[in-house]
Chain A
Amino acid sequence: MAGSGTKRPRRRRRRIHLSKLYTLTCTQSCFKQDHSQIGGPGYSRVVFCNEPDSPDADSSNYSDNYVRTTKYTLTTFLPKSLFEQFRRVANFYFLVTGILSFTPLAPYTASSAIVPLLFVIGATMVKEAVEDWRRKKQDIEVNNRRVKVHRGDGNFDSKEWKTLSVGDIVKVEKNEFFPADLVLLSSSYEDAICYVETMNLDGETNLKVKQGLEVTSSLREDSNFKGFEAFVKCEDPNANLYSFVGTMELQGAKYPLSPQQLLLRDSKLRNTDFIFGAVIFTGHDTKVIQNSTDPTSKRSMIEKKMDKIIYLMFFMVVLMSFIGSAIFGVTTRDDLMRRWYLRPDSSSIFFDPKRAYVAAIYHFLTAAMLYSYFIPVSLYVSIEIVKVLQSIFINQDIHMYYEEADKPALARTSNLNEELGQVDTILSDKTGTLTCNSMEFIKCSVAGTAYGRGVTEVEMAMGRRKGSPLVLQSNEDDVEYSKEPFVEESTVRGFNFRDGRIMNGNWVTEPHADVIQKFFRLLAVCHTVIPEVDEDTEKISYEAESPDEAAFVIAARELGFEFYNRTQTTISVRELDLVTGKRVERLYKVLNVLEFNSTRKRMSVIVEDEDGKLLLLCKGADNVMFERLSKNGREFEEETRDHVNEYADAGLRTLILAYRELEEKDYKVFNERISEAKSSVSDRESLIEEVTEKIEKDLILLGATAVEDKLQNGVPDCIDKLAQAGIKIWVLTGDKMETAINIGFACSLLRQDMKQIIINLETPEIHSLEKTGEKDAIAKASKESVLLQIINGKAQLKYSGGDSNAFALIIDGKSLAYALDDDVKHIFLELAVGCASVICCRSSPKQKALVTRLVKSGNGKTTLAIGDGANDVGMLQEADIGVGISGVEGMQAVMSSDIAIAQFRYLERLLLVHGHWCYRRISTMVCYFFYKNITFGFTLFLYEAYTTFSATPAYNDWFLSLYNVFFSSLPVIALGVFDQDVSARYCLKFPLLYQEGVQNVLFSWRRILGWMFNGFYSAVIIFFLCKSSLEPQAFNHQGKTPGREILGGTMYTCIVWVVNLQMALAISYFTLIQHIVIWGSIIVWYLFITFYGELPAMISTGAYRVFVEALAPSLSYWVVTLFVVVSTLLPYFVYSAVQMRFFPMYHGMIQWLRYEGQCNDPEYCDMVRQRSIRPTTVGFTARLEAKRRSVRRSESI
């Protein structure tokens, strides 16, 4: 089986039985308990593979492979979207009033009530339709992807995904997605092994090995499938990604199927040329689709609060109607002998004095219709229009466009724009979100000497701040960085190592050259990477299970130890010979690979070199490695430990390298034992564990590597800004604790002087319990342990006097499972909230979602989840806002996110600029909306008081209904789309401004009620001033007295002026657009009343020529308008002048700064910022602060 030569590497590779490389992984499945359930309930699925024409196959009517994500279909669109519309209370109310307006109850004509409603509903439906059409297009794209499907006689045709049906045999090629859930039959490797990338499903980036059944592994040619038939019985479709139970019947024999044979839709074939698989689950039956819940439509806090305002308005409408009806009832009852001109003796039921109470009840309905102007009919549609436009601005922001991946920001739902301005806690994924998921070999420590001058992102960020006088330069390295702050990018991906002492072969002159040689040789040999030689250029690329491994091999190559070939049993390396100084090819025989897993935290290979020496090469985490060193192998331990700590603090992943020479006989004993252990039936894993434990000891330390889990550009900066804005950042990662802590350091979420409260279950008691395997006992003990740790943590926190600055909480997934129990979670939350940083590691997607829910519901603040993988989907959907990172690959997170950005650092602009703006815009807009409608609606009510509440509208029907549509809608939309309190530059310069949203100061009840009050008194002023000025004397020079239409017209004019000028007063940002819409609305009113008045009297009724003939020529109309408008706005003007000058809000302060030109004075700015800033707890600003404090402390001693 071993390679037949070096000439044809590709063919040779195909013959490798890679499964043999893996000592620990059990790839072969066997019948287990579960298999007995097949055929029973829940396990009833029957699949006839490769028998499309079989009559039995037809009978099982499984869903096709078409996946639909749209909300509506052509037929359901109308009813469903209408239903959605009228589910909103306000819209339903308008529907009811609209219907009632056809009855004699109506105070106005039916058409004037229906038209605005139709307009509003229509606009919303168009928006829905457009959005759904976009989803449809995406569906079409996915469903029409092609895959090769067996179509009989061993021929494979390319077919669309949607045409696949259960039982089909498909051939998937390298780097393609699996179109459905498949059972792996065979692959390009002889032992039917294949590598799968499941990033879309669970976010894990390392490749998973899957292996087909041995009986089918020989079907490696297309033609093999001619006449192939199999019969699969398995479980029903379910959402569990990690379980699968089934049997395959092949020529009468039964074989067990396990998750090991199942290839899931949306995962990707990697490192394998092709596979053959049988389709088991299609379309909506696939595990991934079963997993994806329909996105719950999220609503922002403002919208929820808006509902409350609407209820409040309903209450007011009811109250006013009730008051009106009562008075109306009383006066009507008395009418019989009094107001003869109303003919009370011969009246319809609506005005009948003899049944006044019935009339009053009917009147209540009429009044409710009349006062419907209290509730802005156009509110929802305006907000929706505004939000869509806001999203366009977000999408168009050039500062959030990622050049390298050609990806702009994408707001997928526009519902949540303003929520972006209120985020209190960010829950972030790590891999792919904070980091780019590429590892760079950056430093190493060999034989006690530290090499590598690369600069990490953190150090760069710290270095950039050097210009600031606040920073103390205490670290000698820092000086070095400031000399060369920006190092040119390394050309090799995964390698960012620079050190003249050992690069370019210079290492031979170093004092410990032999150790260095062993060090890099180990890197070149100890791994499971597969090299791939480009046949044309002879360049070697590596395919590794994890990016760290690739980084090591690349580093070894760059330093002269080129791993270029792997066979079943050998590894070939080109390296420099110390003696001859030439490059020689060396062949290492691989005897065993003891691979990495999370409990072992190390990996070893046992090789035989060309001299026949047996070597055990081992790399692993510091805590497991140092204890396995032999007495004489600890020569450099001290220095290495120091370096490792230093690296870890700089946010690097470290591994310790060590080796050991094995005696022939020792190895023999080991080999026997391990094969024994592998073949044992029961308790295999612990046996293997025991055996490996015995050989991986007495190691000799070589050194340590430091790999940078490369942070995305600008992440520390961004985190610092967000922290300054008072946003808390939690990291939830599936990674192991060490890595997570490293990254915590890297992004300044952790620092050395922070007290870490670590909660885990790595105690000896739990371990010993685990050995006994009593599940209940373990659970009980674990829970107690977690609870105790949490309570201890809280005690520490309390002891420190609530100074959350200094605490970081780190909890692992196992403990988290207990910490999230109902009875513990609140204590846990209290602890977590008290800490400056929270890091949850080893957390499952479900736990991420649960933590998110806990934060969201626990302290009622807005949460934002950000992640890039499918494992973040739950979290993204659970959080108030889900932000997906549209990374290089994998769209799962993006598809379930609300907003997608390409890089974590864009979060800064998204939140601090767009979030703040949108929040401000929407909240001001909603307040203004209610203000303007109260101003309008309350004049109607006041007028009613002068008509004995008979529900005569003060204005013409069309004035009434068009108020919200024409004369006051555009300015408020412009406000919602364009208003800026301060420009983007200042938003970023003064991140604390963001707290206006978090504290919700712009949409507090105080402010809302303040605006409502403004509306009420505006209405009162307008009504009484108009009434007193105009009635009852003559109105013009010709002695004509004003009637209803003249009073109405004048009042209406005043209202249009007042609400539009109020807008002009309230905003402090006038572009041409604002000028056009504000002044335009007023002009439109005059145009409307002119042209409407020119329509035949039949249509314009009371408004016929009222402006041209009566209002415009009369000076008193203009004089009254001027007076009323100015007087109405005066109180607000005084209020805002006082507030702006003497009690400015934070944005007001910034406006003053800008206005007075002091923003160019950095010290002055800094003063403002310092004086109004809360102490930041994380980020490098905080780190510098802490450093300064500690220096000061040491100086004072």
Chain B
Amino acid sequence: MSSGGGGSSEPSGVKKTSKRPKYSRFTQQELPACKPILTPSWVILTFLVAGVVFIPLGVICLFASQGVVEIVDRYDTDCVPESSRANKVAYIQSEGNKMCNRTITVTKTMKHPIYVYYQLENYYQNHRRYVKSRNDAQLRSPREENDVQTCAPEDNVAGHPIVPCGLVAWSLFNDTYQFSRNSEKLPVNKKDISWKSDRDSKFGKNVYPKNFQSGAPIGGGTLDPKKPLSEQEDLIVWMRTAALPIFRKLYGKIETDLNAGDTIMVLLENNYNTYSFNGEKKLVLSTTSWLGGRNDFLGVAYLTVGSICLFLAVTFSVLYLVKPRQLGDPSYLSWNRSPGG
């Protein structure tokens, strides 16, 4: 819409600043640029490099993984007496002695430290209700102990705040393991199994458990009310919620080498209820490599992709040789294909 027919006012000559755009390579879009295109040599070179890098890496990863000794012992069913196996849930919820003996044979020499994990399956620590049911402020500082707003229903007991509140803490894993070799006890070091940053900053040094597991129902493990949260490493490990429904958590470290053929006796207390949701419980003893625990997936995957790359390099070389480029073949252009287009 125009208002006044525009500015064709006679050239006034007051100031004659030219509207000529300034020339610069930037404004004229002529900046020096690298314009790579996927030429045969580049394509083949890329595949070759990828293959040549990946295959050795895959081998290294695979070696690292193979070097790790891992013993997995599933005990959830075995630790329920035959008589109770029809109703495991009732068994686990009943009072009484739930001790269970397991024997583990070491197949390969394990250098210390040997990490002891418990592995839970079909356990959704990543459920949104569960993940959110905690209060970080309360964990950090005694002044915030009344801050239990996100913790319902594990927030208060008879009007008193629970520390630590929420479902995560409440459902603390409480199976225990004691190891012995040839009736000689193998001490489990439970220090330093959590992330340092958690101990230092997330769990207060002067925050003590209060009213924990005092209301009904009781979820999982209890805590020593005399120890500050920053020293309750089992809790700290538990509170780092797992990403997936199958997860391992560090229980402790055995700081002795185990030799091949050693028989380890495990005296375990089977307290934790995974039976109601058909969750498996496993005890895992594992060493580590630079890559972490045992998992061949990465190494195999590296090898696979590396081989694919090499294969592609060969395929493309052949293709390029056999089928030279159709320069400007018009039949590929859509407008030559469509009739009348």
Contact = CB atoms under 8 A, between A and B. Distances in A.
Interface in B232-250: 240-250
Interface stretch (B75-83, B96-104, B175-183, B296-304): B296-304
B334 A1036 contact: no
A946 B131 contact: no
A1123 B21 contact: no
Contact of A397 (B21, B292, B308, B334): B21
B36 interface: yes
B127 to A, nearest CB: 4
Contacts of B7: 141-142, 891
Interface string B311-341: 0100010011001011111101111101011
A44 interface: no
A451 interface: no
A951 B128 contact: yes
Contacts of A651: none
B27 interface: yes
B6 A890 contact: yes
Interface stretch (A400-408, A518-526, A620-628): A400-408
Interface residues of A, number: 145
Of residues B40, B115, B247, B335, which shows the largest number of chain A Cβ atoms within 10 Å of its Cβ?
B335
Contacts of B70: 1033
A1097 interface: yes
Of residues B4, B291, B309, B320, which shows the largest number of chain A Cβ atoms within 10 Å of its Cβ?
B4
Given A1070-B35, A1155-B39, A1142 B326 contact: yes
Given A398-B28, A1041-B250, A1141 B243 contact: no
A752 interface: no
Given A1001-B334, A1101-B136, A265 B5 contact: yes
B330 A1171 contact: yes
A216 interface: no
A1043 B240 contact: yes
Contacts of B36: 1068, 1070
A1033 B295 contact: yes
B136 A1123 contact: no
Contact of A396 (B28, B286, B327): B28
A1037 B19 contact: no
A610 B15 CA distance: 53
Interface in B131-156: 131, 136-137, 140, 152-154
Given A952-B127, A1039-B250, A177 B244 contact: no
A712 interface: no
Contacts of A1097: 136, 140, 197, 201-202
Nearest to B115: A1039
Given A69-B3, A952-B128, A1043-B243, A1029 B301 contact: yes
A1039 B286 contact: yes
A946 B9 CA distance: 72
Contact of A1172 (B202, B241, B330): B330
A999 B341 CA distance: 8
A608 to B, nearest CB: 41
Nearest to A335: B277
Contact of B286 (A266, A350, A948, A1034): A1034
B253 to A, nearest CB: 7
B8 A1036 contact: no
Interface string B209-244: 000000000011000000000000000000011111
Chain B: interface secondary structure? loop
A347 B277 CA distance: 18
Contacts of A847: none
The number of chain B residues touching the other chain, given as a range, is: 35 or more
Interface in B71-98: none
B245 A1071 contact: no
A1134 interface: yes
A518 B14 CA distance: 48
B185 interface: no
Contacts of A161: 4
A1149 B243 CA distance: 48
A1136 B38 contact: yes
B5 A1137 contact: no
Interface in A1029-1077: 1029, 1031-1048, 1068-1074
A1117 to B, nearest CB: 10
B245 to A, nearest CB: 6
B341 A1143 contact: no
Contacts of A802: 340
Contacts of A101: none
Interface string B268-293: 00000100110000000010111111
A292 interface: yes
B165 to A, nearest CB: 12
Contacts of B309: 1130
A1110 B340 CA distance: 62
Contacts of A139: 3
A350 B127 CA distance: 12
Contact of A1032 (B195, B241, B248): B248
A950 B244 CA distance: 12
Interface stretch (A337-345, A540-548, A736-744, A754-762): A337-345
Contact of A1151 (B35, B57, B242, B244): B35
A1098 to B, nearest CB: 7
Given A1068-B36, A1152-B37, A1123 B243 contact: no
Interface in A1096-1122: 1096-1098, 1101, 1104-1105, 1109-1110, 1114-1116, 1119-1120, 1122
A346 interface: yes
Interface in B2-25: 2-10, 18-23
B27 A396 contact: yes
A332 to B, nearest CB: 9
Of residues A895, A1040, A1120, A1172, which shows the largest number of chain B Cβ atoms within 10 Å of its Cβ?
A1040
B136 A1039 contact: no
A293 B4 contact: no
Nearest to B139: A1097
A946 B246 CA distance: 10
Given A401-B20, A1069-B35, A293 B328 contact: no
Given A342-B127, A347-B129, A1130-B305, A1046 B243 contact: yes
Contacts of B291: 1115-1116, 1119
B2 A266 contact: yes
Nearest to B89: A337
B128 A896 contact: no
A1029 B242 contact: no
Nearest to A1042: B243
Contact of B4 (A145, A946, A1137, A1151): A145
Given A338-B277, A1043-B242, A1174-B335, A403 B117 contact: no
B50 interface: yes
Contacts of A766: none
A1144 B332 contact: yes
19 contacts: A141-B4, A177-B4, A265-B5, A339-B127, A399-B28, A406-B19, A894-B6, A895-B1, A948-B127, A998-B335, A999-B334, A1025-B301, A1029-B295, A1029-B301, A1036-B292, A1047-B243, A1068-B35, A1127-B301, A1141-B40
Given A1144-B332, A1171-B330, 20 more contacts: A346-B152, A393-B29, A892-B2, A950-B124, A952-B128, A1027-B244, A1034-B293, A1039-B253, A1041-B250, A1046-B243, A1047-B243, A1071-B33, A1097-B136, A1104-B201, A1120-B298, A1126-B305, A1141-B43, A1142-B325, A1144-B325, A1172-B328
Q: What 8 A-B pairs come out closest when comparing CB atoms?
A: A891-B6, A1033-B293, A142-B4, A1034-B293, A67-B3, A266-B5, A1039-B115, A341-B171
Interface of B: 1-10, 18-23, 27-40, 43, 46, 50, 54, 57, 61, 70, 113, 115, 117, 119, 123-124, 126-131, 136-137, 140, 152-154, 167, 170-171, 195-197, 201-202, 219-220, 240-250, 253, 273, 276-277, 286, 288-295, 297-298, 301-302, 305, 308-309, 312, 316, 319-320, 323, 325-330, 332-336, 338, 340-341
